[in-house]
């Protein structure tokens, strides 16, 4: 094949050429070769589960190892059917890149995804090689979606008395059930995130693909003062089609959504947190865990807790489907501080209508526990005092006191396994510094026991281990509740 490209006008007629099999191909531009296989091949796994079931895998975070590891994939589960394997590293959850996010946030994203979950993963071998070679994993994920692909958007539009929603909806010619949007410049729809040419997918959680234009317009008129719509631009929609991936509300970014959940950080006082947790049946027939009887001037009221709010999570762990007693135990095991995520009943109903968990778009749904400030010691760091909150059980508080006449201190002589004392963090040898806020460093054993008995069913102890007590006392540092330590787990597992 002879083919010449000589300088000339771009409008010149291309020269004809003939193919001579004896000569073969002599133009390097026309060389034929196989496309090289990509070095790294992320896999898309779409998991679908039934109500009351899990996805069938465990998510693990190992100390000193990068990545969120898929672990213990259950045979015949949604995870196995999707192609998920033990050791896979999760790059994206529902189209959101998570490799650089905290482990607890990734767990919550999975738990809040509803009945369908989309994961982009790399095998263990590919992931380790990519990390060792310095591959940009975020760029790798982006390339998998395709250039210019953006996530769909959930846009909450509030009607304006003058121009309404500021939005026109038109049927795409030749495509049944396909609609595109034209927002008014600087109108309510545009301010809510709607862009010209967006394709409409749903209104208030109802898919529009099977609606006629007249039925759609009637629905919009009946929506009242606001609507929440799911939209996507045409280019991104093509990416989802290419990947044979349904566009789920869980994929969306949020714009102007109301009824945000809130985070409440509580530090227990002498009388507890100051609220009751009740399991109640809602008007919808669903069972929920509600916060009730918020005491005036209590830690709960000071933190902004409102009577009747629903409890969504405890210390970043979703509890909507948990048993009431399990939730109570989680709060008790938290010790002297706990973080609760809550939402109003109206807010819960709003997200249920959209087919979403209220935690899906809450950007601070995995808050860190409140840490008390630490005093600086004159020498090496020493374990600081700890506040331990105990609740009396049928067998008591689950520990025994002892007295050292040599050191003139009252300390914990025994802690019963599995009881209130152990769950609150008491350890054998801990020196008792305060009982319900009263200093007892110079009290005798009998007086300390009397103070504990007077406290009723709740007990707050300020304790410090023996070495720490001696170090603080030797250096003249006051032993107060403003020093505490927390040791994070090195390996975490969460079944989903």
How would DSSP label each residue in 296-326? TTSHHHHTT--TTPEEEEETTEE-TTS-HHH
pLDDT one digit per residue (tens) for the chain, 496 residues: 333 333 444 444 444 445 455 444 444 444 444 443 457 889 999 999 887 788 999 888 776 677 899 988 999 999 999 999 999 999 999 998 999 888 888 888 888 888 899 999 999 999 999 988 888 998 899 888 888 888 899 999 999 988 899 999 999 888 888 999 999 998 999 999 999 999 999 999 999 998 998 999 999 988 888 999 999 999 999 999 999 999 998 898 888 888 888 888 888 888 888 899 999 888 877 788 999 998 988 888 888 888 999 999 888 888 888 888 889 888 888 888 888 999 999 998 898 888 888 888 665 433 443 333 333 333 344 457 888 888 787 778 888 888 876 667 888 888 887 678 887 888 888 899 999 888 888 888 888 888 888 877 778 888 888 878 887 777 777 777 654 433 334 445 555 6
The set of residues, in sequence order, having a beta carbon less than 8 Å from that of 494 and lying 6+ positions away, is 58, 59, 60, 107
E strand or H helix that includes residue 327: helix 324-333
pLDDT at 405: 62
pLDDT at 231: 94
The set of residues, in sequence order, having a beta carbon less than 8 Å from that of 138 and lying 6+ positions away, is 97, 99, 100
pLDDT at 407: 67
Count of Cβ atoms closer than 10 Å to residue 238 Cβ:
14
Closest among 361, 369, 102, 374 to 251, alpha carbons compared: 361
Rounded Cα–Cα distance for residues 262 and 400 (Å): 40
* Sequential DSSP letters for 403-417: EETTTTEEEEEEE-T
pLDDT at 363: 53
The residue whose two tokens read 């079931």 is 53
pLDDT at 372: 32
pLDDT at 494: 58
pLDDT at 43: 93
The answer to whether the CB of 277 falls within 8 A of the CB of 338 is: no
The answer to whether the CB of 364 falls within 8 A of the CB of 261 is: no
For the whole prediction, is pTM greater than 0.85? no
Question: Which residues on neighbouring strands pair with residue 132, listed in sequence order?
Answer: none
pLDDT at 17: 46
Secondary structure letter of residue 8 according to DSSP: -
Question: Which residues on neighbouring strands pair with residue 44, listed in sequence order?
Answer: 120
Count of Cβ atoms closer than 10 Å to residue 486 Cβ:
11
Question: Which residues on neighbouring strands pair with residue 272, listed in sequence order?
Answer: 269
Q: For strand 386-391 and strand 458-464, is the pairing parallel, antiparallel, or unpaired?
A: antiparallel
Q: At what angle do helices 124-132 and 137-145 cross, to 10 degrees?
A: 120
* Three state DSSP letters for 342-381: EECHHHHHHHHHHCCCCCCCCCCCCCCCCCCCCCCCCCCC
């Amino acid at each position: 094949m002879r083919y010449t490209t000589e300088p000339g006008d771009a409008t010149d007629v291309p020269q004809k050429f003939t193919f001579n099999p004896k000569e073969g191909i002599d133009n390097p531009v026309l060389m034929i070769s196989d496309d090289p296989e990509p070095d790294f091949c992320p896999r898309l796994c779409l998991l679908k589960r039934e109500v009351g079931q899990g996805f069938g895998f465990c998510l693990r975070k190992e100390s000193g190892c990068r990545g969120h590891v898929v672990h213990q994939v259950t045979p015949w589960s949604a995870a196995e059917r999707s192609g998920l394997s033990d050791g896979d590293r999760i790059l994206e959850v529902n189209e959101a890149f998570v490799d650089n996010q905290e482990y607890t946030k990734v767990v919550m994203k999975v738990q809040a995804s509803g009945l369908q979950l989309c994961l982009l993963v790399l095998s263990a071998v590919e992931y380790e090689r990519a990390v060792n070679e310095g591959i940009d994993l975020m760029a790798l994920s982006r390339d998998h979606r395709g250039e210019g692909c953006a996530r769909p958007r959930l846009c909450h539009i509030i009607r304006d008395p003058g121009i309404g929603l500021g939005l026109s909806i038109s049927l795409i010619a030749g495509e049944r059930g396909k609609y595109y949007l034209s927002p008014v410049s600087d109108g309510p729809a545009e301010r809510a995130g709607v862009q010209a040419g967006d394709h409409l997918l749903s209104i208030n959680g109802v898919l529009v693909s099977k609606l006629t234009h007249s039925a759609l317009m009637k629905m919009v008129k009946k929506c009242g003062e606001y609507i929440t719509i799911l939209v996507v631009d045409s280019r991104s929609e093509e990416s989802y089609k290419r990947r044979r991936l349904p566009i789920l509300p869980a994929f969306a970014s949020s714009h102007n959504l109301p009824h945000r959940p809130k985070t409440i950080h509580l530090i227990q006082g002498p009388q507890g947190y100051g609220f009751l947790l009740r399991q109640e049946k809602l008007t919808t027939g669903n069972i929920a865990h509600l916060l009730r009887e918020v005491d005036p001037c209590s830690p709960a009221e000071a933190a902004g807790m409102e009577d009747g709010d629903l409890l969504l999570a405890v210390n970043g762990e979703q509890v909507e489907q948990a048993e009431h007693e399990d939730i109570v135990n989680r709060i008790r095991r938290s010790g002297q501080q706990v973080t609760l995520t809550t939402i109003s009943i109206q807010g819960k109903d709003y997200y249920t209508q959209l087919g979403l968990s209220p935690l899906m778009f809450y950007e601070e749904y995995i808050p860190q526990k409140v840490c008390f400030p630490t005093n600086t010691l004159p020498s090496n760091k020493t374990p600081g005092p700890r506040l331990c909150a105990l609740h009396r059980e049928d067998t008591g508080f689950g520990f025994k006191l002892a007295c050292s006449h040599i050191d003139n201190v009252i300390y914990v002589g025994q802690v019963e396994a599995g009881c209130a004392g152990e769950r609150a963090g008491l350890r054998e040898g801990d020196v008792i510094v305060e009982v319900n806020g009263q200093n007892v460093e110079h009290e005798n054993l009998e007086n300390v026991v009397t103070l504990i008995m007077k406290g009723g069913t709740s007990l707050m102890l300020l304790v410090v281990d023996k070495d720490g007590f001696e170090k603080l006392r030797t250096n003249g540092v006051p032993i107060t509740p403003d020093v505490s330590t927390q040791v994070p787990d090195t390996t975490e597992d969460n079944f989903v």
